[in-house]
Amino acid sequence: MITGKTRLLGVIGAPIGHSLSPVIQNAALHAAGLDYVYAALPVRPDALASAVHGLRDAGIAGFNVTIPFKTEILPLMDVLSEDARRIGAVNTVVVREDGKLAGYNTDAAGFLAGFTEHGITPAGKRAVLIGAGGAARAALWGLLRSSVSEVCIGVRTPGKGAALTADFEADGFVRSCAFDTSAWRDALGAADIIVQTTPLGMSPRTEEMPPVDPATLAPSAVVYDLIYTPAETAFLRAAAARGHRTINGETMLAAQGAEAFFLWTGVRPDMMLMKRVLREELARRG
Ligand code: NAP
């Protein structure tokens, strides 16, 4: 029951009505017996600063941040976690007791949870990333934090690959290659871990494939697609048919939410429940 003591959590974005977070977070809060409620909070794109300060001043405990505010919110934070600073985006804000705003990014932790769930250790492995957008940035930082031996980023826009590489070259052996080069094909063939970070294959265009022929991958390579709708993309299906171990984006989505939950409440939520609720909600939406 919502009472006068119930604490408020939420997610800000524009638009925000499609967000899965309220369903997942409220289920986990209820299961943990915590007196919080989590709401979707639409924020006008030209009013981020006043909305953030207003939410803080109205006593919100914390909130998630999604498109289009993840980068724009950085200068509004009083403190930033290392992950938020390195990824260059905030997806979780904690309002501290003194009113200070602490910005976190739980995407890299969520991404790494996908490996953990499958008993895979990225340390010492050769990885390739397909794509160089926002999700690739979090995945790249997660892989480097996990001490992979090298990362090759496959891109269609060389300038974006070069920019991402430049931001992380001090953290490990990182390079980028255009999709149509022999360097990319060589990196793919030698990789232990393939991470697909483009929207290619996402609903409703489920027939699309990234520009990678699964037949060229090393047989032992693990194939991770960050997409969670559908649960199995055409790329993952093709990889599984060739005997590869595959990971989809569901655990990353649930685990980044679980990390945020912990930052706000100090309690570890039931991750399995969060994943189950996520699947049920996706099935309900069709
Ligand atoms: P983004 O910032 O727009 O980046 C998309 C990347 O894909 C860019 O590098 C883009 O290349 C590349 N790309 C797009 N269309 C392409 C095409 N036709 N051929 C080759 N490359 C193409 O998007 P994002 O935020 O990173 O999200 C990407 C995907 O990750 C989405 O499907 C999203 O659902 C998923 N995701 C999942 C989670 C999770 O929790 N599981 C979290 C975040 C994102 P250019 O740079 O050349 O445009």
Query: Per-residue pLDDT tens for 117-152?
Result: 999 999 999 999 999 999 999 999 999 999 999 999
Instruction: Note the pLDDT of residue 25.
Output: 98
Confirm if 91 and 66 have CB atoms less than 8 A apart: yes
Q: Rounded to the nearest whole angstrom, what is the distance from the C-alpha of residue 27 to the centroid of ligand 1?
A: 28
Q: Rounded to the nearest whole angstrom, what is the distance from the C-alpha of residue 111 to the centroid of ligand 1?
A: 14
Q: What is the pLDDT of residues 49-89, one digit of tens each?
A: 999 999 999 999 999 999 999 999 999 999 999 999 999 99
Q: What is the pLDDT of residues 196-239, one digit of tens each?
A: 999 999 999 999 999 999 999 999 999 999 999 999 999 999 99
Mean pLDDT over each residue of the chain, to the nearest integer: 97
The amino acid present at 242, given as its one-letter code, is: R
- The pTM score is 0.97
Of 282, 263, 250, 124, give the one whose Cα is nearest residue 192: 124
- Residues near ligand 1 (Cβ within 6 A): 110, 131-136, 156-157, 160, 197-200, 202, 226-228, 249, 252-253, 256
* Token pair of 220 as six digits: 């032992």
What's the CA angle centered on 204, arms 239 and 89, to 5 degrees? 80
Query: 176 pLDDT band (50/70/90 cuts)?
Result: very high
Average pLDDT over residues 177-187: 96
Q: What is the pLDDT of residues 154-175, one digit of tens each?
A: 999 999 999 999 999 999 999 9
pLDDT for 272 beyond 90: yes
Of 147, 141, 194, 145, give the one whose Cα is nearest residue 168: 141
Instruction: Note the pLDDT of residue 227.
Output: 98
In three-state form (DSSP H/G/I as H, E/B as E, the rest C), the secondary structure along the chain is: CCCCCCEEEEEEECCCCCCCHHHHHHHHHHHHCCCEEEEEEECCCCCHHHHHHHHHHCCCCEEEECCCCCCCCHHHCCEECHHHHHHCCCCEEEECCCCCEEEECCHHHHHHHHHHHCCCCCCCCEEEEECCCHHHHHHHHHHHHCCCCEEEEEECCHHHHHHHHHHHHHHCCEEEEECCCHHHHHHHHHCCEEEECCCCCCCCCCCCCCCCCHHHCCCCCEEEECCCCCCCCHHHHHHHHCCCEEECCHHHHHHHHHHHHHHHHCCCCCHHHHHHHHHHHHHHHC
Domains, the chain, in order of start with CATH, read 7-105+251-285 (3.40.50.10860), 108-248 (3.40.50.720)
Instruction: Note the pLDDT of residue 286.
Output: 82
Which ligand 1 atom sits closest to the C-alpha of 156?
Answer: 47
Q: Rounded to the nearest whole angstrom, what is the distance from the C-alpha of residue 34 to the centroid of ligand 1?
A: 35
Question: Is residue 220 classed exposed, middle or buried when 0-12, 13-18 and 19+ CB atoms within 10 A define those classes?
Answer: exposed
CA 243 to chain centre: 26
Confirm if 235 and 214 have CB atoms less than 8 A apart: yes
Instruction: Note the pLDDT of residue 198.
Output: 98
